[in-house]
């Protein structure tokens, strides 16, 4: 009886493996990522960003008023850049499809710069909401991050073989 169960298990596992292998061989390998995967990755990025915002707010000891002001500032920024972000996504889809023109590429670079400038303005406004003590904490964290980055680069250079 035990031998029959073991043999049946092995046969079932072999059958399942062969079916999965056949499905993988038949499925076309598409170089264009599926929209579902893009949405999942976008959801993950948004969740991670929210976690970082809350973690940073807790580290800085923000008051409820400051949190509310930051949220309003973020919302204002998202509303102000909505059309630019939508156009950027359309250009991205054209690039993935392989139908992007040189004018589209130039427009994408321009939009990227505009969004970057807007983000920098939002950061400045966020920074202006902080007290002097909170600003000093921000600077300390930036300094630590820069030191870590420098240390990692040094380690990477030590581990990499010398170039001839």
Domain residues of the chain, as ranges?
53-132
What is the pLDDT, as a whole number, of residue 84? 95
Provide the b/e sequence for 57-82 (b: ≥16 CB within 10 Å).
eeebebeeebeebbeebeeebeeebe
Q: Which two tokens stand for residue 112?
A: 């990227």
Question: 95 versus 4: which is more confidently predicted?
Answer: 95
Which of 131, 133, 130, 134 shows the shortest CA–CA distance to 70? 130
CA atoms within 13 A on the CB side of 140: 9
What is the pLDDT, as a whole number, of residue 102? 93
- Using one digit for the tens of pLDDT, what is the confidence trace for 34-70? 555 555 666 677 777 666 666 777 778 888 999 899 9
What integer is the mean pLDDT of 2-25?
57
Which stretch of DSSP H or E encloses residue 99? none
d(CA 131, CA 65): 12
DSSP letter for 28, please. Answer: -
pTM of the model as a whole: 0.59
Which stretch of DSSP H or E encloses residue 101? none
Contact status, residue 65 vs residue 130, Cβ threshold 8 Å: no
């Amino acid at each position: 009886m035990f031998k029959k169960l073991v043999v049946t298990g092995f046969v079932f596992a072999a059958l399942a493996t062969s079916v999965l292998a056949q499905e993988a061989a038949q499925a076309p390998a598409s170089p264009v990522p599926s929209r579902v995967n893009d949405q999942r990755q976008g959801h993950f990025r948004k969740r991670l960003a929210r976690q970082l915002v809350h973690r940073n707010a807790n580290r800085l000891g923000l008051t409820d008023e400051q949190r509310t002001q930051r949220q309003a500032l973020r919302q204002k920024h998202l509303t102000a850049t909505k059309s630019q972000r939508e156009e950027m996504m359309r250009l991205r889809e054209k690039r993935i499809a392989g139908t992007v023109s040189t004018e589209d590429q130039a427009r994408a670079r321009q939009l990227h710069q505009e969004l970057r400038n807007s983000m920098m303005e939002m950061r400045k406004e966020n920074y202006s909401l902080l007290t002097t003590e909170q600003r000093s904490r921000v600077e300390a964290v930036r300094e630590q991050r820069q030191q870590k980055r420098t240390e990692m680069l040094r380690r990477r250079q030590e581990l990499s073989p010398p170039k001839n």
